């Protein structure tokens, strides 16, 4: 096995390099870098992959740059409905929440479901009540709101459309309104894999809509036998494809390498269904891939003992 490693993403999208100021790019790269350092420190201390991805996603949820937790997009009803999932590759344990409106960190609610519930997925009022019982921080619904998100909603309502975070139609795509679903995958020193994904969904979405992020096998998957995966992009297509699990299935049943499996899912199968997005994945040997079929994806990777590496655009 290679040494422990963590990878993260902050969403894939049509991020115009020419329209992104150095200062804006710096904000994103610094946020990714600091998040990687936190996850890397957990792994370096012998911590679990599960704890590393939990903490990485929790931190990203607290950064308004990304569409998860604070800074989540608005529904058509001008509310926030957030989803999250976490999966432990040791025994295929998973925990998830969907449609939560007042839990400060949805990923912590998903982790509590994994650790302390016989269920896999809790939604809405039931998920929020469970979070309260677990002692998680509960906040007012407007805690998650930002002026940028409100502007996105007004634009989407005016055009009577639902927008993926990276498809807000500001030509060229403005980095000031580009935010993204977040996720993390990790391999620890014991050879265990874990994955976590969290999102605020789609701008102007119908209340009650749930995407791929909280669904094990669609937007999040981890299995010690092969791979940990976190996805970002056109949620409905990722659900139909079971995209995260498809990477693992291609590796298990077709015997292909992680790079080949991930590229086939993102650059062939997703495209065939008019889907956009990307994924991050780590296999049990510590190989890392981060393919995407858009102009950019906020992403980064950190092996224990090495300096973290982050990126935005296609290299």
pLDDT tens readout for residues 52-99: 999 999 999 999 999 999 888 888 888 889 999 999 999 999 999 999
How far does Cα 28 stand from its chain's mean position?
15
pLDDT tens readout for residues 110-121: 999 999 999 999
Q: What is the pLDDT, as a whole number, of residue 281? A: 98
Q: With bands split at pLDDT 50, 70 and 90, how would you rate the model's confidence at 19?
A: confident
Distance CA 248, CA 225 (A): 9
For 121, other C-beta atoms within 10 Å of its C-beta total 20
Closest to 49 measured CA to CA, from 83, 87, 79: 87
Q: What is the pLDDT, as a whole number, of residue 168? A: 47
The structure's pTM equals 0.91
How far does Cα 118 stand from its chain's mean position?
24
If one compares 46 and 149, the residue with the highest pLDDT of the two is: 46
Binding residues: 209-212, 232-235
Distance CA 261, CA 3 (A): 22
Complete edge-to-edge strand list for the sheet that includes strand 227-233: 220-223, 227-233, 277-283, 288-289
Q: Is the pLDDT of residue 108 over 90?
A: yes
Complete edge-to-edge strand list for the sheet that includes strand 193-199: 121-123, 93-100, 82-88, 193-199, 182-187, 5-13, 296-303, 309-313
The DSSP code for 137 is -
Distance CA 16, CA 162 (A): 21
Q: What is the pLDDT, as a whole number, of residue 170? A: 42
**What does the mean pLDDT of the chain come to?**
90
Q: What is the pLDDT, as a whole number, of residue 145? A: 64
pLDDT tens readout for residues 147-182: 666 566 566 566 555 555 544 444 334 444 344 699
Q: What is the pLDDT, as a whole number, of residue 175? A: 41
Distance CA 28, CA 34 (A): 10
CB 279 within 8 A of CB 299: no
Q: Cα 206–74–143 angle (5° rounding)?
A: 135
pLDDT tens readout for residues 274-297: 999 999 999 999 999 999 999 899
Terminus-to-terminus CA distance in the chain, angstroms? 27
Q: Please give the CATH architecture assigned to the domain spanning 5-91+145-156+175-313.
A: 4-Layer Sandwich (3.60)
Torsion of CA 208, 212, 216, 221, to 10 degrees: -160
- Tell me which range, 140-144, 165-169, 270-274, is most confidently predicted by mean pLDDT: 270-274
For residue 164, what are the contacts with CB-CB under 8 A and spacing of at least 6? 13, 202, 203, 233, 234, 235, 276
Q: Is the pLDDT of residue 307 over 90?
A: yes
Q: Which residues are catalytic?
A: 181
Query: Between β-strands 193-199 and 309-313, what pairing exists: parallel, antiparallel or unpaired?
Result: unpaired
Q: Is the pLDDT of residue 199 over 90?
A: yes
- The domain segmentation of the chain, as residue ranges, is 5-91+145-156+175-313
CB 56 within 8 A of CB 302: no
If one compares 219 and 78, the residue with the highest pLDDT of the two is: 219
Q: What is the pLDDT, as a whole number, of residue 178? A: 44
Rounded mean pLDDT of 30-38?
98
If one compares 165 and 232, the residue with the highest pLDDT of the two is: 232
Binding residues for substrate: 209-212, 232-235
Alpha-carbon distances of 21 from 13, 25, 107, 167, 289, rounded to whole Å = 16, 6, 31, 19, 27
Closest to 151 measured CA to CA, from 124, 171, 170: 170
Phi then psi for residue 198, to 5 deg, are -145, 145
Q: What is the pLDDT, as a whole number, of residue 155? A: 64
């Amino acid at each position: 096995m290679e040494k422990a490693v963590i990878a993260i993403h902050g969403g894939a999208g049509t991020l115009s390099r020419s329209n992104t100021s150095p200062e804006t790019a710096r904000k994103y790269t610094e946020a990714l870098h600091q998040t990687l350092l936190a996850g890397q420190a957990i792994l370096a201390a012998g911590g679990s992959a599960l704890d590393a991805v939990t903490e990485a996603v929790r931190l990203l949820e607290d950064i308004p740059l990304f569409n998860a937790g604070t800074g989540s997009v608005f529904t058509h009803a001008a509310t926030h409905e957030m989803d999250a999932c976490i999966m432990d590759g040791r025994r295929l344990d998973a925990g998830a929440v969907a449609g939560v409106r007042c839990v400060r960190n949805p990923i912590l609610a998903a982790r509590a479901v994994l650790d302390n519930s016989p269920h896999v997925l809790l939604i809405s009022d039931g998920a929020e009540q469970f979070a309260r019982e677990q002692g998680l921080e509960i906040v007012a619904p407007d805690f998650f709101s930002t002026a940028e998100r409100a502007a996105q909603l007004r634009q989407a309502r005016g055009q009577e459309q639902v927008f993926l975070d990276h498809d807000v139609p500001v030509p060229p795509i403005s980095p000031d309104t580009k935010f993204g679903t977040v996720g993390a995958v990790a391999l620890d020193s014991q050879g265990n894999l874990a994955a976590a994904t969290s999102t605020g969904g789609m701008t102007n979405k119908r209340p009650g809509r749930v995407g791929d992020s909280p669904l094990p096998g669609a937007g999040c998957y981890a299995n010690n036998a092969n791979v940990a995966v976190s996805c970002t992009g056109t949620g409905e297509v990722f659900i139909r494809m079971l995209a995260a699990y498809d990477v693992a299935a291609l590796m298990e049943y077709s015997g292909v390498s992680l790079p080949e499996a991930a590229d086939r899912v993102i650059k062939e199968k997703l495209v065939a269904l008019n889907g956009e997005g990307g994924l991050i994945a780590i296999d049990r040997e510590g190989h890392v891939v981060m393919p995407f079929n858009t102009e950019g994806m906020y992403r980064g990777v950190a092996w224990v003992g090495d300096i973290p590496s982050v990126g935005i655009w296609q290299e």
